[in-house]
A and B are shown apart, each in its own frame.
Chain A
Amino acid sequence: MTTTGHLHLAVALDGAGWHPAAWREAGAHARELFTARYWAKLAGEAERGLLDFVTIEDAFRLQSTLPDDVDDRTDQVRGRLDAVLLAASLAPRTRHIGLVPTATTTHTEPFHVAMGIATLDHVSRGRAGWRVQVSPRASEAAHFGRRAIPRLDPEFRDRALLAELFEEAADAVEVARRLWDSWEDDAEIRDVATGRFIDRDKLHYIDFSGRWFSVKGPAITPRPPQGRPIVAVLDHGGTAVPYELPARAADIVFVTPHDRDDAARIVERVRAVPRDGEPLKIFADLLVFVGPDAAERKARLDELDGAELVSDARIFTGTADELADLLLDWREAGIDGFRLRPGAVPADLKGIARGLTAALRRRGAFRHAYESTTLRGLLGLPRPASRYAAASGRLP
């Protein structure tokens, strides 16, 4: 719960929107999808709506309608840019909005990912987050050739594999956070008398040793402005221990309830997992078509795509006022915020950033101005001290 009683609102950016035919809408500018200008417009729209943050989807495989194969469809968006770099290019073009790119943990080096996110926090002056994701597919593993992963079972019956990938993801987050802490805030001293740029007693080896990797540290990048950038995880609660990864490793969990009772059940399960530190922020994901013509637009897109849209998240079609009422209703179930996936850009992004935010403000449930320049600040989370500064208990 925030002190202001305001909802937190994020928008999930991916291509021309979450409907596979969204790119065919008028005004979608799909030809520009791989340019910085396209994304700057989207982030600018979200920021004008005073949203807390944008997330950016990413994966080490082409989009596909098949679980673990390329489908060679030519009528849907294929191709993506690296989300962390895309987020970095948005940093100088925005001032307040949080930037939360996806970076995966199965085939990447935790050290590189941690330094990338730390750098995103530096270039955005404290607005970085990291949406953590695993790569559970054989087709992704084949791009790297380092690790055997069985073909994806769409029913996710191989719980052991998922548990392993999630456990590794939790280790990667642990490494990142230790690295972000490995420089104390006042490590840089520039002491001319002794010729020292840093006080090396304030830099720490992290000496992480786990099942999948060992990382010595310290970070090569000084401590990020937020101390620790925000970590977010989408969790459907389908793993061996539901919601364990976010409880262990995240500041925000994205969940996918289908109605208010479902939301209440999920909140209860999330809160039941033991956790240290600040309470986990629970954001519900919704795929939304917003506006007076929402239903017709969705029907038109379904028609174009030749199939009705399916999603892991609840699909909403309706006016901004109806959506505002739904969000406030779900909030009663203990949801802290929402990550909305616009069905089609620009219409539904505008529906969120203009229509929905106005409707929420009329209900006293959304900010009128940015109250902070950092993502932690927007989320009402304190800036953590370095664990090593706290642990050293250094004598004066």
Chain B
Amino acid sequence: MTPPHRQIHLAAHFPGVNNTTVWADPRAGSQIDFSSFEHLARTAERGKFDFFFLAEGLRLREHKGRIYDLDVVGRPESLTVLSALSAVTERLGLAATVNTTFNEPYELARRLATLDHLSGGRAAWNVVTTNDAFTGANFRRGGYLDRADRYRRAEEFVRLARTLWDSWAPDAVVADPERGVFVRPGAIREFRHEGPQFTVSGRFTVPRSPQGHPVIIQAGDSGEGREFAAANADVIFTRHGTLAEGKAFYADVKSRLAKYGRRPDELKIMPGVTFVIGDTDAEAAELAAEIRRQQVSPQTAIAFLEQIWGRDLSHLDPDGPLPDIEPDLSTEVAEGRVKHHDRAAVAARWRAVARERNLTIRELVIEMTGRQSFVGSPLTVAKSMAEFVAAEAADGFILVPHLIPGGLDDFVDRVVPLLQELGAFRTEYTGTTLRDHLGLAVPAGKEAA
């Protein structure tokens, strides 16, 4: 009997609009039909996952001035589809990514509290701060917010949302027909907030929800982003999915908590990771290579190059060598995705690797982008994950399958039982709310005045 492992938290990411999702596979189903969402959510719940996760993108991505057409395009509005999923699941947490720049606290706090009520305490909000003018073109105020202010607005937004969630006393609704009392006197308090971003007052319309406050997730990687998470978040969704990076990130973020009077276990760190499972490690490796080829089609390979080089490279042969072309740093060909910080350095590194290893363009892109995080037999994957968490490189994982709707089936059927045998993952839900699953306390409510 192995000693009990540190407990892993698991979430399922509905894969979407990037080349992780293999839409060309014959088994790939609809990306928009509700049945696909239902399948993935039910599978995650069967696997006793902590939560189901949806990303957000408020403008379709563009490439060389046109809509990018090589990846999945299109997705539902997150909170609406999660509300529907609340009807077909019972325990699974339901997490929506929602932007603070192009929303208003009163409305969004209502929607999140509503999901928490409808789901009996399973709502989570991934707070993101995308603020570019490209996205702003779909909204009333356009690109009004400076990048420097993105987390200032987010911080004030979350603080105000918490004020609204606290404004109804926990036991405000009595609904006693005999006495004719629906709400206790004074239990719906007036809120009043004056700040640089928002000056608002009045009454909130939604009773305090089962979790008090929905779980707050943060995804953003800058210093400001990490500080915001340390102060405000219950979970961080990170991209640091390798052991070394993960440990550094974990140590950095957890060390920021004390300043806010928080304990290390009050913030869970969950990198987004991919996985490939085979009967043997060798078979999984082969499968992984095949999936990478599907993820990087010839056209996708050229598009990736163009993003880094900042110019049209459609004349290049994806199965040919990478010629000596200088990147054009004055232009961006991609809009609506996370930008490479230093394109000159990335281009130089790619050229060096291509030369050294004599790779074609497509081989190079396969090599340099998005390698799978966990590849192997079910036992190899289970052990690596448990070790990753034991090494304090993460508290758990947000799994991104590459196939919809069936991409999580194998993981749940073959890896989860092994994680459970290792003593690293729950065999049953022990609570009903997402806070229960994550081991987070319910924020203290405020009694009636």
Name B113-158 residues within 8 Å CB distance of A: 114-115, 117-120, 137-140, 142
**Looking across the interface, which residue of chain A has its beta carbon closest to that of B30?**
A188
Residue B2 interfacial (CB < 8 Å): no
Tell me whether A273 is interfacial, beta carbon within 8 Å: no
Residues in B whose Cβ lies below 8 Å from that of A79: 168, 173, 183, 188, 205-207
For residue A195, CB closer than 8 A to chain B, the reply is yes
Q: Which residues of A (54-109) have their CB < 8 Å from a CB of B?
A: 59-62, 70, 72, 74-82, 84-86, 88-93, 107-109
B202 touches A30 (CB 8 A): no
A123 touches B203 (CB 8 A): no
- Beta-carbon contacts of A22-49 to B below 8 Å, as 1s and 0s? 0111101011011110001000000000
Chain A proximity mask over B293-333: 1 for CB below 8 Å, otherwise 0: 00001111000000000000000000000000000000000
A34 touches B67 (CB 8 A): no
Residue from A33, A59, A142, A146 within 8 A of B202 (CB atoms)? A142
Which of chain A's residues have a CB closer than 8 A to the CB of B142? 214
Say yes or no: B205 contacts A62, CB within 8 Å.
yes
With A and B bound together, what is the CA distance between A107 and B142 in angstroms?
15
- B138 x A197 contact (CB < 8 A): no
Q: Is the CB of A123 within 8 A of B76?
A: yes
| Residues of the A chain whose Cβ atoms lie less than 8 Å from the Cβ of B72 | 197
Q: Which of A176-223 contact B (CB under 8 A)?
A: 183, 188, 190, 192, 194-200, 203, 212-222
CB of A200 to closest CB in B, whole Å: 4
Known: A108-B107, A118-B77, A221-B77. A196 touches B70 (CB 8 A): yes
Contact residue among B83, B118, B182 (Cβ-Cβ distance under 8 Å from A23): B182
Residues on A with beta carbons closer than 8 Å to the beta carbon of B104: 107, 144, 146
A139 contacts across to B, CB distance below 8 A: 202
Docked Cα-Cα span, A119 to B111, in Å, equals 15
Residue pair B139, A74 in contact (C-beta under 8 Å) = no
Q: Which residues of B contact A282 (CB under 8 A)?
A: none
With A and B bound together, what is the CA distance between A90 and B190 in angstroms? 31
- Contact assessment for B74 and A220 in the assembled complex, using a CB-CB cutoff below 8 Å: yes
Least Cβ–Cβ distance between A109 and chain B, in angstroms? 5
Contact A221 B199 (CB under 8 A): no
Per the bound structure, the CA–CA distance linking A371 and B201 in Å amounts to 48
Q: Which residues of A contact B137 (CB under 8 A)?
A: 214-216
Q: Which of B55-63, B394-402, B403-411, B423-431 forms part of the interface with chain A?
A: B55-63
Structural contact, B118 and A81, CB atoms closer than 8 A: yes
Q: Does A125 sit within 8 A of B, measured CB to CB? A: yes
Which interface residue of A62, A74, A203 has the most chain B CB atoms within 10 A?
A74
Which residue, B75, B81, B102, has most C-beta atoms of chain A within 10 A? B81
Q: Judge whether A23 and B69 touch: CB under 8 Å.
A: no
The chain A residue with its CB closest to the CB of B138 is A111
Q: Is B391 an interface residue (CB 8 A)?
A: no
Q: How far is B34's CA from A124's CA once the two chains are assembled, in angstroms? A: 8
* In-complex Cβ contact of B80 among A24, A107, A108, A116 (8 A): A116
8 Å CB contact of B34 from A34, A92, A146, A218:
A92
Closest approach, in angstroms, between the C-beta of B335 and any C-beta of chain A?
11
Instruction: Give the segment of B84-92, B223-231, B245-253 that binds chain A.
Output: B84-92
**B88 surroundings in chain A (CB, below 8 A):** 92
A247 interface hit (Cβ, 8 Å): no
**Pairwise interchain contact A74-B185, C-beta atoms closer than 8 A:** yes
Number of interface residues of B (CB under 8 A): 72
Given A80-B206, A123-B76, A221-B75, A30-B59 contact (CB < 8 Å) = no
User: SS class of chain B's interface: helix, strand, loop or mixed?
Assistant: loop
A203–B67 contact, CB under 8 A? yes
> Would B181 and A144 count as touching, CB distance under 8 A?
no
Q: Which residues of A contact B102 (CB under 8 A)?
A: 109, 112
Docked CA distance A190–B115 (Å): 34
Give the nearest-CB partner of A29 in chain B.
B175
CA distance A132 to B177 in the complex (A): 33
Q: In the assembled complex, which residues on chain B have CB atoms less than 8 Å from the CB atom of A116?
A: 77, 79-80
Q: A213, B139: Cβ atoms under 8 Å?
A: yes
Residue among B34, B69, B73, B80 with the highest chain A CB neighbour number at 10 A: B80
- Interface pair B73/A197, CB less than 8 Å apart: yes
Complex: A59 Cα to B140 Cα, angstroms: 20
Q: Is A299 an interface residue (CB 8 A)?
A: no
A59 closest partner in B (C-beta): B205
Taking CB atoms, residues of chain B closer than 8 Å to A122 are: 32-34, 76, 81
A130 vs B198: C-alpha distance in the bound complex, in angstroms?
Answer: 29
CB distance from B233 to the nearest CB of A (A): 23
Of chain B, the residue at the smallest CB distance from A204 is B67
Q: Which residues of B lie under 8 Å from residue A109 when comparing CB positions?
A: 102-103, 139-140
Q: What's the least CB distance linking B291 to chain A, in Å? A: 15
Contact indicator A34/B117 (Cβ below 8 Å): yes
In the complex, B261 has a CB within 8 A of chain A: no
* B81→A123 contact, CB < 8 A: yes
Pairs across A and B, CB under 8 Å, 30 listed: A24-B180, A31-B173, A36-B117, A36-B120, A60-B106, A70-B203, A78-B188, A80-B205, A81-B114, A81-B118, A82-B110, A82-B114, A85-B79, A85-B115, A85-B118, A89-B83, A92-B38, A92-B84, A92-B87, A122-B76, A122-B81, A143-B202, A144-B106, A192-B24, A197-B23, A198-B67, A212-B140, A218-B67, A220-B58, A221-B75
Which 9 A-B residue pairings sit nearest by Cβ, starting from the closest? Answer: A195-B299, A216-B137, A88-B83, A123-B84, A119-B80, A119-B76, A30-B175, A82-B114, A195-B297
Q: Which residues of B contact A (CB under 8 A)?
A: 23-24, 32-34, 38, 57-60, 66-67, 69-77, 79-81, 83-84, 86-88, 102-104, 106-107, 110-111, 114-115, 117-120, 137-140, 142, 168, 173, 175, 177, 180-185, 188, 190, 198-203, 205-207, 297-300
